[in-house]
Every structure is written in structure tokens, then in C-alpha cells.
């Protein structure tokens, strides 16, 4: 389990099983808090003495005290090793249509909100690009590229940053030692670091949907001091069959998300065949020459929906906010 | 050692025994301790509030902690240069310098390890390196080679110390009770028999041979922490050799400084002679020229091509924000010492000492210039971040910790010289006998 709490209340045997086996299909542990000693359960849970038998996902029968069972409101919690494996049969991919972006920054907002990103920092950056003096400027939303040859994963000494079978590169903030080698290695400068104790801005703190669950690599929350963070392609949403937050937040439909195996991408309103879209619109990836093989494709800023200048207004506001 | 030949064994022993701190020694040690404590307090604040107390941010994610780490690793290389290379090459004149070089190596490597822990966001998870360690990461390589180097260096310090410990134990009245206990604990098994000497000599020889590749590894791997990334300024195949040549230079500079200070403080004029400074001066010139060569390689070739990502980086070093520091480091770290030391007159003790100080200071800033400016030139533009993320200048906590670690290393050396003879007594005596026999 990604959370080993409740320890001394379970009897010894079942606890061992509990830690070894992965998720319980019907139950999740109550009262997790990672600030305290993980083996001191929180407050109210008192063992009732009444045992129940449960079937774990890998087919073992385990026994535990009934008091520790808590109905799961949403999806069952995943074990760390499950989260490290990824969703079977998927190859996630993103397409970003530069012709549609006017630097509204809604993607960034939604992402920061959902992932409790530290005020001032951003996982998605909307960069005002100009490749050379006489070429046209354009807005480029930049996420983690979820590289297929990820330099960040190569350098991580403790496997805290890892590549999953579904193509997503995730961070395990429970394991990260904060050496920041991955930040130096990432050519896309996409990684941010929790330099201090995470601060929740009021709107996030009020949102019970977003706050309140315990740490998982898939939600990347709650943020942890002294560890790195970055765009995670919202695998928790994918498990629910929903789109990443940036995709659904963008009113202009800039982001397309999908599965390469199914060869389809969607921004919620429109769905395209991925390979055809890339072909028709001459899609490309950033810094192809480095050999990182990104999973994020860009469609060039031609036949634009908005002039570049229309985004400048937002830029100023964003600057003000950041400082 | 022309004039040692005239000295009796007793005289040599008396001269070289560790001495109590005088008033100046007290002030020196006291100030080092104070600086260490200030550093410790700064680290306490860092533990409490997080790395936010530093001025590192998402772009400059490595700052003076890392450049200080590189500096320590660099200076520690000298242990292998003086001890191993000279020993294997049968260079006799360097004998009085071996222990100085070894203790510099050990104390520097200790603080290199500490400073890297200071740099970690989650130091309490240090053990993850062993629980979850993955061998593909250059950090793991560094952990392995630094551990090995530390271990071998300690042995190379300890084995030649054994005969001296025997001498120290025998002059109990002079060293005091507490120290005597320590000497006994460390060396009472050493009887000085022929068999023991044979084993010890053999062990030292083996260690001298293996420490050379390990020493090359520690600094090459440290350079790979940078060279394995894509960043302009780091993405260079020249880095390993460049770092090693720089490391030999700063190490030799460090030894020269230490020689001069010990000579003055402990009145060792008879043992560390102008001849030593003359020879070390030659070595420093040679190494400085070598380092200069690699610097030219490192900057001229990319500057000739001026690839776009390199351009901003190089412009900033040559003429921009960091130009003053850059040319300062080049001048005092290489050019001026070379000019001073090529002349025979420049190789007298005082000028050699001054050149050594310059080399060491230049080297420290050079490391800073290798780490920081590169990080300010990522491939994608720095946008959507607070203004403070665009610059880097270390905070007082970072300075305090960096200075504290440097003081800590000096403190180890000082205390070592207080407890043990900084010039090997036994070897000096043996050599004197050989000298006499020759005549
Ligand atoms: S974009 Fe950077 S952080 Fe993301 S996978 Fe690639 S190297 Fe890693
Ligand atoms: S900062 Fe964390 S994720 Fe990044 S390389 Fe270090 S341990 Fe791995």
C-alpha cells in the first residue's frame, strides 16, 4: 500500500499481508496522515475485535478488523506498485494545436488548482515564443513531454521518477530525495521543486474535491516539501475515463488527449484520428534532435484562430500575479 | 633535505612531535569553530523551513552547495597525486608532504559528502539511495566511488602513521595522558618488527596503485553529473579531463598553502625547505598550464561555432553578467600563478605560497561559474515564473553553510596536526639514515 498506517491496531499477521498485498477491492484504510508516525493511527478508530475476511487482488484471503473498513466513495485506492505499472493496454499521447492558443491560461489555472501547485509556480507554462528575429511569434503551452527516452528517469538515483507502460512519466514524492538531478537533466525545464512547505491558496483549500485524499503518485497530491513535481498527464482522470484538467479547461480546444493504441485523440468536443491529424497538419515534437522522443505533439501555428497580440493582455496579468 | 643529515634521531623526533596550540593557534581554531557553528545554525534553519531559505529556484536548481561540492572533490584529489603517484615514481623529496596531502584529501572528501546531503531536499531519506538505488544514475556512481576513495584515503593516512604512533607512545611525558590513550588504542599492536613492516609496505603499495584509478573516477564521475545532461556549457565530452586537470591544480595549490602555513606555525624550516617550494612551484606551473589548455578547449571550440543555445551562455561569461568573475577566475586561477612561477625567483617560499592562495581562490570561483550560469540558459525561455527565478545570488544561509563547510575542513586538518605529527617522523629518520650512508 502506498500508505502504511493503522499498523499496531491490526493484528500482526493481517498487517503483514496488508502491507504486502496490493489494493483491497472493497476497502480502503481510514485515517491516514503522513505527517505523524505512520504507525500511530489517527484518533477515533478503535478495533472492534470483529474480524472480516477479504480477498486481495492477488487472490489471497486476508483478515482484518472491521473497524478499519471504510466505504470507498470513488475508486478503490491503488497500491504504489500498481501506480508504477500504469494502465494496461494504453499509450497516452497529447496533441497541442498552436493555431488555437491565445494565451488564456485556463489550462494552467485548472492544472494548478487540481494539483495544488505552489502559488507562483506552474506545471503548464504558456510560453511566448519567437524562434528568430523575423519569424512570427506564437503561444506555446508547454507541459511535461512524457518522453519515451526520458533523461529525467535516467538520472534519478532512487527510481522516484519512473516511466510507466502507458507512456506516462510520474514522480513518487514519497521516495524522492530532492537531489534535483532530474531538473538539471530535463531539457524542457518542466520540473518544479517544492522549496518550502506546500501552501494552499484559499480556493484550493476550500475545494474538498481536490484536497483531502492522501498521497498518490497518480494525483501527485498533496504536494510534499523538498520533492519535485511536474505535469503528470492526470492518470487519475484517465482511470475514471475522463480527460486531463487542462484539456477540459481550455475553451479553445487547444489540447487533445488520447491513446495511441486506439489512434484517437480528443479535446472533448472534437475527436480525430491521431495519425491522420499529425499527417494532415504536419505535427512535430520539440527538440527532436535530443532523442528524448516526446509523447506531446504540436500542430504548427498556421491559419490561426487568434492573432498573437490578443494574448499579450493576459501575459501582463500573469506577470503581475506571478510577482 | 640537505641539512637533515646533521640531525640526531632525538632531535628530529623532538622537532616533529605535535605541539600544543599557542595563542594564535587558539584564536585560529576558535574562529573556525565559530564559523562552523554559524553554518550549523543556517542548516538548522534550512531543515526547518526547507530549501526556500536558499536563493535557488526552479531554473537555478543547483547553486553554491553543488559548486562547493565540486571544489571539495577537486581538492581531495591531491591525496592521490602526492602520496600515490610520487611514491610509485619513487620521488623521495615529497616524503614530508605526504601526510599533509592525505589529510587534505580526507577532510575534503568528508565535507564533500556532507555538503551533498545539505543540498538534498529530503536528507532524512538518504537511505533511499541504498534501499531503492539504481545503478544507472551518475549519482549512484558518485556515491560508490566517493565511498571507496574515502576508505582508501583513510587507510593511506593510517598505515604510514603506525610507526609514528609507536614513537608517540614512547614519549608519553610529552604528549599527555589523554592523547596517549588514543595512540595506544590506534597503534599499540604495532611492534615495528620486520614482518610488520613488510606487510605494511606491501599494503601501502597496493593502496597506492588502486587509489589512482579511484581518484580519477571520483572527479570524472563528478564531472559527469553535468556532462550527462543536455545543457549548453555542460554538454561536453571534454568535461572529465577538464575537471581532473583542474582538480590536480587546486590540490597542488592547497598543498603549497598548507606547507607554508605549517612551516611557519610549527617552525619546520629544516624539514620543509625552499627546495620543496621550488619543486612544488614547478608542479603547480605544469598543472596550471595543463588546466589552461583544457579551458581553451572548453571555451574556444564552442565559441568558434556559436551554436544558438551556447551563444547566450558564452556571451554571458565573456562579456555579460558573469564576465568580471569569469576573467577574475581565469587570471588569478591560472595566468598570474603561471607568470609568477615560471621564474626561479618566483619559486621561493613566499611567492609560491601567494600563488597557491590565488590558485585555490580562483578554483573556488571557477566551480561556481561552471555550475550556475549554465542553469540560467535553459533551452526554452524562462517565462511564467516569478521575477526572482531569473537570477541567482546565494542567500546568507548558503554562504554561511559554504563557509562553515570550508572551515570545517580546515578544522579537521588543524586538529589532526595537533594530535599527530604532520610530517612523518619515522620516514624522515629512515631517509636521514639512508642519506648518511650514501655519504
Ligand atoms: S519533459 Fe522533462 S520531465 Fe518530462 S519526461 Fe521529458 S525529461 Fe522528463
Ligand atoms: S529530485 Fe527526486 S525525482 Fe528528481 S532525480 Fe532526485 S530523487 Fe529523483
> Mind listing the domains of chain A with CATH numbers?
8-68 (no CATH), 80-322 (3.30.70.20)
Count how many pairs of residues, chain A against chain B, have C-beta atoms within 8 Å. Answer: 147
How many Cβ atoms sit within 10 Å of the Cβ of residue B438? 7
pLDDT-based confidence at residue B177 (cuts at 50, 70, 90): confident
- Please say whether the beta carbons of A322 and A217 come within 8 A: no
Sequence-distant (6+) residues with CB within 8 A of A30 are: A6, A42, A45, A68, A69, A70
Q: What was the pLDDT predicted at A14?
A: 43
β strands within chain A, DSSP E: 51-55, 61-65, 92-97, 125-129, 138-142, 161-163, 169-171, 192-193, 228-229, 255-259, 264-266, 271-273, 296-299
3-state secondary structure of A297: strand
Count the residues in chain A. Answer: 323
- How far does the centroid of ligand 1 lie from the alpha carbon of residue A114, in Å? 20
- Please say whether the beta carbons of A138 and A129 come within 8 A: yes
Which residues of A fall within a CB distance of 8 Å from B58?
121, 183, 189, 191-193
Q: For residues B204 and B275, what is the distance between their CA atoms, to the nearest angstrom? A: 26
Å between B158 CA and nearest CA of chain A: 32
Peptide bond into A222 cis (omega under 30): yes
Q: What was the pLDDT predicted at A26?
A: 37
Å between A188 CA and nearest CA of chain B: 6
pLDDT tens figures, A4-30? 443 344 444 444 443 333 333 333 444
Q: Decide whether any atom of ligand 2 lies within 6 Å of the A173 Cβ.
A: no
Q: Decide whether any atom of ligand 2 lies within 6 Å of the A184 Cβ.
A: no
Q: For residues A120 and B390, what is the distance between their CA atoms, to the nearest angstrom? A: 13
pLDDT tens figures, B237-247? 999 999 999 99
For all residues of chain B together, what is the average pLDDT? Answer: 92
pLDDT at B386 over 80: yes
Task: Give the residue among B229, B374, B208, B233 at the shortest CA–CA distance from B302.
Answer: B233
φ, ψ (nearest 5 deg) of residue A62: -125, 160
Q: Which three cell numbers stand for residue A154?
A: 535516467
Task: Verify whether the Cβ–Cβ distance B133 to A290 is below 8 Å.
Answer: no
What ipTM describes this predicted complex? 0.91
- Grid look-up 521575477 returns B387
3-state secondary structure of A181: helix
Distances in Å between the Cα of B357 and the Cα atoms of B122, B251, B260 are 35, 11, 11
pLDDT-based confidence at residue B196 (cuts at 50, 70, 90): very high
- State the average pLDDT over residues B72-84: 88
Q: Which three cell numbers stand for residue A60?
A: 489471497
Å between A19 CA and nearest CA of chain B: 17
- Grid look-up 581553451 returns B296
How many domains does one find in chain B? 1
How many Cβ atoms sit within 10 Å of the Cβ of residue A198? 17
Ligand 2 atom nearest the C-alpha of A152 is 5
Write the residue in A158, A184, A228 that is nearest to B229 by C-beta: A184
Q: For residues A239 and A217, what is the distance between their CA atoms, to the nearest angstrom? A: 13
Q: Which of A230, A235, A291 to mutate to test the pocket of ligand 1 (most atoms within 8 A of CB)?
A: A230
Q: For residues A321 and A315, what is the distance between their CA atoms, to the nearest angstrom? A: 10
Parallel, antiparallel, or unpaired for β A296-299 and A92-97? Answer: parallel
Cα separation of the two ends of chain A: 40
Which residues of B fall within a CB distance of 8 Å from A144?
none
Q: For residues A174 and A163, what is the distance between their CA atoms, to the nearest angstrom? A: 16
Q: For residues B110 and B72, what is the distance between their CA atoms, to the nearest angstrom? A: 9
pLDDT-based confidence at residue B119 (cuts at 50, 70, 90): very high
DSSP H helices, A88-138, are: 106-115
φ, ψ (nearest 5 deg) of residue A171: -120, 135
Which ligand sits nearest to residue B134's alpha carbon? 2
Q: Which residue has its alpha carbon closest to ligand 1 atom 8?
A: A152
Instruction: Report if pTM > 0.95.
Output: no
pLDDT-based confidence at residue B19 (cuts at 50, 70, 90): confident
Task: Give the residue among B403, B415, B376 at the shortest CA–CA distance from B18.
Answer: B415
Beta bridge partners of A65: A51
Q: Decide whether any atom of ligand 2 lies within 6 Å of the A181 Cβ.
A: yes
Cα separation of the two ends of chain B: 14
Q: What was the pLDDT predicted at A6?
A: 39
Q: What was the pLDDT predicted at B433?
A: 82
Q: Show the low-confidence residues of chain A (pLDDT under 70).
A: 1-45, 54-59, 68-75, 212, 318-323
Q: For residues B197 and A234, what is the distance between their CA atoms, to the nearest angstrom? A: 67
Task: Verify whether the Cβ–Cβ distance B384 to A184 is below 8 Å.
Answer: no
Q: Which of A152, A171, A290, A296 to mutate to test the pocket of ligand 1 (most atoms within 8 A of CB)?
A: A152
The CATH code of the domain that includes B262 is 1.20.1630.10
Which residues of A fall within a CB distance of 8 Å from B138?
155, 181
Q: For residues A252 and A223, what is the distance between their CA atoms, to the nearest angstrom? A: 29
The dihedral built from the CA positions of residue B115, B121, B124 and B129, taken in this order, carries a sign that is negative
- Look up the domain containing B33 and give its range: 2-377+385-438
- Please say whether the beta carbons of A196 and A188 come within 8 A: no
Task: Verify whether the Cβ–Cβ distance A155 to B128 is below 8 Å.
Answer: no
**pLDDT > 70 in chain B, percent:** 98
Q: For residues B279 and A140, what is the distance between their CA atoms, to the nearest angstrom? A: 60
Q: For residues A290 and B137, what is the distance between their CA atoms, to the nearest angstrom? A: 19
- How far does the centroid of ligand 1 lie from the alpha carbon of residue B215, in Å? 33
Amino acid at each position: 500500500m502506498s500508505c502504511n498506517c493503522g499498523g499496531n491496531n491490526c493484528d500482526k499477521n493481517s498487517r503483514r499481508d496488508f502491507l504486502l498485498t496490493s489494493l483491497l477491492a472493497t476497502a480502503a484504510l481510514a485515517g491516514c496522515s503522513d505527517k505523524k508516525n505512520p504507525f500511530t493511527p489517527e484518533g477515533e478508530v478503535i478495533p472492534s475485535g470483529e474480524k472480516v475476511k477479504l480477498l486481495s487482488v492477488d487472490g489471497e484471503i486476508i483478515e482484518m478488523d472491521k473497524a478499519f473498513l471504510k466505504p470507498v466513495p470513488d475508486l478503490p485506492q491503488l497500491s504504489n506498485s500498481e501506480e508504477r505499472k500504469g494502465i494496461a493496454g494504453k499509450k497516452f499521447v497529447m496533441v497541442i494545436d498552436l493555431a488555437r492558443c491565445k494565451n488564456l491560461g485556463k489550462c494552467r489555472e485548472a492544472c494548478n488548482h487540481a494539483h495544488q501547485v505552489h502559488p507562483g509556480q506552474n506545471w503548464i507554462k504558456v510560453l511566448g515564443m519567437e524562434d528568430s528575429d523575423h519569424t512570427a511569434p506564437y503561444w506555446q503551452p508547454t507541459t511535461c513531454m512524457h518522453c519515451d527516452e526520458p533523461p529525467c528517469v535516467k538520472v534519478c538515483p532512487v527510481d522516484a521518477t519512473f516511466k510507466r507502460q502507458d507512456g506516462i512519466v510520474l514522480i513518487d514524492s514519497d521516495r524522492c530525495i530532492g537531489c534535483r538531478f532530474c531538473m538539471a537533466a530535463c531539457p524542457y525545464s518542466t520540473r518544479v521543486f517544492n522549496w518550502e512547505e506546500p501552501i494552499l491558496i484559499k480556493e484550493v483549500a476550500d475545494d474538498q474535491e481536490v484536497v483531502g485524499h492522501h498521497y498518490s503518485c497518480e494525483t501527485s497530491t498533496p504536494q510534499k516539501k523538498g520533492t519535485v513535481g511536474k505535469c503528470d498527464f492526470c492518470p487519475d482522470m484517465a482511470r475514471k475515463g475522463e480527460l486531463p484538467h487542462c484539456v477540459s479547461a481550455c475553451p479553445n480546444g487547444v489540447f487533445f488527449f488520447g491513446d495511441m493504441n486506439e489512434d484517437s485523440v480528443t479535446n472533448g468536443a472534437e475527436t480525430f484520428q491521431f495519425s491522420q491529424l499529425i499527417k494532415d497538419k504536419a505535427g512535430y515534437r520539440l527538440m527532436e534532435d535530443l532523442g528524448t522522443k516526446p509523447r506531446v505533439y504540436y500542430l504548427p501555428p498556421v491559419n490561426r484562430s487568434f492573432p498573437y497580440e490578443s494574448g499579450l493582455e493576459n501575459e501582463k496579468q500573469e506577470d503581475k500575479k506571478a510577482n | 633535505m640537505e641539512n637533515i643529515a646533521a640531525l640526531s634521531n632525538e632531535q628530529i623526533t623532538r622537532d616533529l612531535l605535535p605541539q600544543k596550540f599557542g595563542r594564535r593557534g587558539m584564536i585560529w581554531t576558535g574562529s573556525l569553530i565559530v564559523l562552523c557553528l554559524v553554518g550549523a545554525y543556517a542548516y538548522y534553519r534550512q531543515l526547518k523551513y526547507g530549501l526556500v531559505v536558499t536563493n535557488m529556484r526552479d531554473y537555478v536548481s543547483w547553486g553554491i552547495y553543488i559548486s562547493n561540492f565540486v571544489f571539495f572533490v577537486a581538492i581531495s584529489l591531491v591525496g592521490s597525486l602526492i602520496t600515490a603517484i610520487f611514491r610509485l615514481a619513487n620521488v623521495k623529496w615529497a616524503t614530508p608532504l605526504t601526510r599533509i596531502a592525505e589529510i587534505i584529501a580526507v577532510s575534503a572528501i568528508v565535507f564533500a559528502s556532507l555538503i551533498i546531503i545539505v543540498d538534498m531536499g529530503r536528507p532524512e531519506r538518504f537511505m533511499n539511495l541504498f534501499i531503492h538505488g539504481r545503478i544507472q544514475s551518475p549519482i549512484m556512481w558518485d556515491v560508490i566511488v566517493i565511498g571507496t576513495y574515502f576508505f582508501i584515503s583513510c587507510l593511506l593516512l593510517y598505515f604510514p602513521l603506525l610507526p609514528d604512533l609507536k614513537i608517540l607512545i614512547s614519549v608519553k611525558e610529552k604528549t599527555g595522558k589523554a592523547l596517549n590513550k588514543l595512540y595506544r588504542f590506534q597503534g599499540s599492536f604495532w611492534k615495528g618488527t620486520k614482518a610488520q613492516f613488510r606487510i605494511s609496505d606491501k599494503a601501502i603499495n597496493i593502496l597506492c596503485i588502486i587509489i589512482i584509478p579511484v581518484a580519477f573516477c571520483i572527479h570524472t564521475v563528478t564531472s559527469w553529473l553535468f556532462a550527462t545532461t543536455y545543457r549548453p556549457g555542460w554538454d561536453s565530452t571534454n568535461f572529465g579531463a577538464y575537471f581532473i586537470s583542474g582538480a590536480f591544480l587546486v590540490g597542488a595549490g592547497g598543498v603549497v598553502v598548507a606547507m607554508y602555513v605549517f612551516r611557519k606555525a610549527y617552525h619546520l624550516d629544516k624539514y620543509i625547505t625552499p627546495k620543496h617550494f621550488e619543486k612544488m612551484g614547478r608542479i603547480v606551473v605544469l598543472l596550471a598550464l595543463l588546466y589552461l589548455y583544457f579551458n581553451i578547449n572548453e571555451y574556444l571550440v564552442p565559441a568558434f561555432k556559436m551554436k544558438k543555445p551556447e551563444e547566450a551562455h558564452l556571451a554571458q561569461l565573456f562579456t555579460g553578467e558573469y564576465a568580471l568573475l569569469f576573467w577574475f577566475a581565469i587570471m588569478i586561477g591560472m595566468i598570474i600563478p603561471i607568470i609568477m612561477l615560471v621564474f626561479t625567483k618566483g619559486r621561493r617560499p613566499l611567492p609560491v605560497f601567494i600563488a597557491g592562495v590565488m590558485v585555490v581562490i580562483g578554483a573556488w570561483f571557477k566551480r561556481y561559474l561552471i555550475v550556475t550560469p549554465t542553469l540560467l540558459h535553459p533551452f526554452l525561455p524562462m517565462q511564467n515564473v516569478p521575477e526572482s527565478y531569473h537570477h541567482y545570488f546565494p542567500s546568507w544561509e548558503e554562504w554561511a553553510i559554504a563557509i562553515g563547510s570550508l572551515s570545517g575542513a580546515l578544522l579537521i586538518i588543524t586538529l589532526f596536526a595537533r594530535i599527530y605529527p604532520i610530517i612523518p617522523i619515522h620516514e624522515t629518520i629512515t631517509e636521514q639514515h639512508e642519506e648518511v650512508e650514501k655519504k
